[in-house]
């Protein structure tokens, strides 16, 4: 090759008239014969340059080669599943089916083919979402690949966050994670830096202590009762009242036990509470008004109902949760803010008996004004799955709750990932027919969102069995939504077939 290269250099210097490309060199380079000597020389020079560069050894890079990708011996995902993943990752695909896809991958112990990983890592980096099931499907090779690309490295943080120096959100996440594994360590961290924390951060740090709450936390919470910040004082009271043996909880129980017996009926409880407020301490009228932010009795009562343990209130009246709720929410003239405060308290405390009793109460009272509260949606979605399904099946008969955009039923359905009961799916799909909507009826935005959620939450058997072929039965805009519904169900069926059990 070096001889040919020297000959071509002479041709370039002397010209093709004096030094044309020889026949031997032309054939060695694979250049076709041409009457134009200059064209032959140019082609030969280009071919020789490429061959010359190809034979040159690579320059050493500034860093050594990366370690080899670790092996993953798990079986590959079925070939029929991979194209479905590519569809879901597209903007106009079925992204809401991704959790189902990766749940199936997890359940069968499959791994993704390497060629799928770049697209998935791009999607995760762009969406800033990288669920654990997705990470497991990629395994060690996915992590190795992410480390080779600067846009993907953030998906696998290398440095552990530092409690004392990192940004607030990282510190909050670290506190939550540490609280689950080592609750005493998390408490010690917060005690050490408490006085240096900003007020708005202290309230959120305190809330992180709820997981694994114990008597060991009481000293810091008592200290927070005297904080300058209203949210901090409020959160400290909430947490102390979760501890059955805290000093504050015992103080409340003694106060409630000493209320006048003759007056202590739930229907009169609000006025009794206000009439017999302690003169001093965390539940004095002055401190409650300071927590409320506005100096009026209604706000003080709302704060009480948001803080006091409902089980202690019911016990002081000799009521079960169901009787107490019935008397307080039906017979007592609580205003909306007071009723909402009570529901927010029940939702936050998450006592299973009270969650279920509250859900049953509102099932029996579908026209109650508090159906339009976010707190009730939170209560419904905190129910165990079996109770959630039973409640939703019972609510299928109440179309009015589907019509109200901000009803707890609509909010709970849009937020929950649980499957829908068949009766509820049918109630939604056939709503325009059963409610006699005109042909020109245009579904509100929340109806479209509900139908989309139903497409992913319904059982495949019910979704496939729904007959929408007779277009005369449906308002045209709703029919278009039903077509999209059926497309989602058909895609879910393909996904199920790609992962045979």
pLDDT higher than threshold 90 for residue 193: yes
pLDDT band at 290 (very low <50, low <70, confident <90, very high): confident
Answer whether residue 213 is part of any domain.
Answer: yes
What integer pLDDT is reported at residue 296 of this predicted model? 45
Answer whether residue 442 is part of any domain.
Answer: no
Q: Pick from 392, 378, 383: which is nearest to 340 by CA? A: 378
pLDDT higher than threshold 50 for residue 28: yes
Answer whether residue 390 is part of any domain.
Answer: no
Residue 180 and residue 230 share a domain: yes
* Domain stop point among 189, 214, 240: 240
| Helix orientation angle between 285-292 and 297-307, rounded to the nearest 10 degrees | 90
Residue 135 and residue 97 share a domain: yes
Most confidently modeled of 142-156, 203-217, 285-299?
203-217
For every residue of 399-433, DSSP letters joined together read HHHHH-TT-HHHHHHHH--SPPPHHHHHHHHTHHH
Do 493 and 467 contact (CB within 8 A), yes or no?
no
pLDDT band at 375 (very low <50, low <70, confident <90, very high): very high
pLDDT higher than threshold 70 for residue 346: yes
Residue 42 and residue 82 share a domain: no
For 212, the domain range is: 168-240
Assign 306 to helix, strand or coil. Answer: helix
Calculate mean pLDDT across residues 116-140: 92
Calculate mean pLDDT across residues 168-177: 93
Answer whether residue 283 is part of any domain.
Answer: no
Half-sphere exposure of 213 (CA within 13 A, CB side): 22
Residue 134 and residue 180 share a domain: no
> Pick the residue with more confidence: 3 or 173?
173
What integer pLDDT is reported at residue 38 of this predicted model? 87
Answer whether residue 231 is part of any domain.
Answer: yes
Residue 190 and residue 133 share a domain: no
* Domain stop point among 195, 222, 240: 240
pLDDT higher than threshold 60 for residue 1: no
Answer whether residue 32 is part of any domain.
Answer: yes
pTM: 0.79
- Cα–Cα distance for residue pair 196/202, rounded to 1 Å: 9
Report the number of distinct structural domains present in the chain: 3
Residue 172 and residue 134 share a domain: no
Do 227 and 202 contact (CB within 8 A), yes or no?
yes
Answer whether residue 100 is part of any domain.
Answer: yes
Most confidently modeled of 13-22, 65-74, 145-154?
145-154
Calculate mean pLDDT across residues 294-314: 78
* Domain stop point among 240, 255, 287: 240
What digits encode the pLDDT tens for the residues 306-333? 999 999 988 887 889 998 898 888 877 7
Q: What is the mean pLDDT of the chain?
A: 88
Percent of the chain scored above 90 by pLDDT? 55
pLDDT higher than threshold 90 for residue 217: yes
Answer whether residue 401 is part of any domain.
Answer: no
Question: Of all residues in the chain, what percent are helix, strand and coil, respectively (each to 5)?
Answer: 65, 0, 35
Calculate mean pLDDT across residues 75-84: 93
What integer pLDDT is reported at residue 295 of this predicted model? 39
pLDDT band at 61 (very low <50, low <70, confident <90, very high): low
Give 461: exposed, middle or buried? Use CB within 10 Å, 0-12, 13-18, 19+.
exposed
> Pick the residue with more confidence: 258 or 215?
215
What would the two tokens of residue 78 be? Answer: 């079925």
Q: Pick from 247, 234, 340: which is nearest to 287 by CA? A: 234
Query: By mean pLDDT, which of 97-111, 237-251, 451-465, 468-482 is the weakest?
Result: 468-482
Do 112 and 138 contact (CB within 8 A), yes or no?
yes
Calculate mean pLDDT across residues 74-101: 91
Do 48 and 5 contact (CB within 8 A), yes or no?
yes
pLDDT band at 265 (very low <50, low <70, confident <90, very high): low
Percent of the chain scored above 70 by pLDDT? 94
């Amino acid at each position: 090759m070096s001889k040919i290269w020297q000959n071509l250099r002479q041709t370039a210097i002397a010209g093709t008239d004096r030094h044309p490309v020889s026949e031997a060199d032309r054939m060695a380079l694979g250049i076709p014969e041409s009457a134009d000597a200059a064209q032959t020389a140019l082609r030969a020079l280009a071919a020789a340059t490429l061959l010359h560069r190809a034979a040159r050894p690579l320059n050493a890079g500034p860093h050594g080669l990366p370690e080899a990708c670790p092996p993953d011996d798990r079986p590959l995902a079925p070939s029929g599943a991979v194209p479905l993943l590519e569809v879901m990752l597209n903007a106009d695909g079925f992204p809401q089916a991704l959790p189902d896809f990766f749940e199936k991958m997890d359940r069968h112990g499959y791994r993704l083919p390497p060629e799928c990983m770049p697209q998935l890592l791009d999607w995760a980096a762009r969406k800033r979402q990288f669920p654990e099931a997705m990470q497991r499907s990629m395994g060690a090779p996915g992590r190795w690949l992410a480390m080779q690309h600067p846009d993907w490295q953030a998906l696998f943080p290398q440095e552990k966050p530092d409690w004392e120096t990192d940004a607030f959100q990282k510190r909050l996440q670290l506190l939550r994670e540490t609280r689950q594994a080592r609750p005493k360590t998390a408490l010690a961290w917060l005690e050490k830096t408490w006085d240096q924390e900003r007020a708005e951060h202290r309230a959120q740090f305190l809330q992180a202590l709820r997981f694994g709450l114990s008597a060991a936390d009481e000293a810091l919470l008592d200290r927070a009762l005297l904080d300058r910040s209203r949210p901090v004082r409020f959160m400290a009271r909430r947490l102390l009242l979760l501890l059955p043996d805290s000093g504050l909880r015992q103080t409340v129980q003694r106060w409630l036990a000493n209320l006048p017996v003759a007056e202590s009926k739930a229907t009169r409880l609000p006025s009794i509470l206000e009439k017999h407020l302690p003169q001093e301490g965390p539940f004095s009228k002055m401190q409650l008004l300071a927590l409320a932010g506005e100096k009026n009795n209604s706000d003080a009562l709302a704060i009480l109902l948001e803080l006091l343990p409902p089980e202690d209130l019911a016990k002081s009246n000799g009521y079960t949760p169901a009787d107490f709720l019935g008397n307080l929410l039906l017979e007592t003239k609580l205003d909306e803010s007071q009723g909402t405060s009570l529901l927010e308290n029940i939702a936050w405390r998450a006592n299973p008996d009270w969650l279920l009793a509250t859900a049953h109460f509102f099932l029996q009272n579908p026209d109650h004004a508090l159906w339009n509260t976010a707190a009730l949606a939170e209560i419904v979605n905190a129910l165990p799955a079996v109770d959630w399904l039973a409640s939703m099946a019972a609510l299928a008969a109440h179309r009015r709750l589907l019509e109200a955009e901000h009803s707890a039923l609509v909010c709970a359905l849009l937020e929950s990932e649980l499957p829908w009961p068949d009766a509820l799916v049918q109630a939604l799909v056939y709503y325009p027919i059963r409610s006699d909507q005109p042909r020109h009826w245009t579904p509100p935005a929340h109806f479209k969102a509900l139908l989309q959620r139903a497409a992913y939450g319904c059982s495949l058997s019910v979704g496939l069995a729904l007959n929408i072929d007779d277009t005369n039965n449906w308002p045209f805009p709703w029919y278009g939504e039903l077509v999209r519904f059926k497309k989602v169900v058909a895609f879910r069926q393909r996904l199920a077939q790609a992962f045979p059990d």
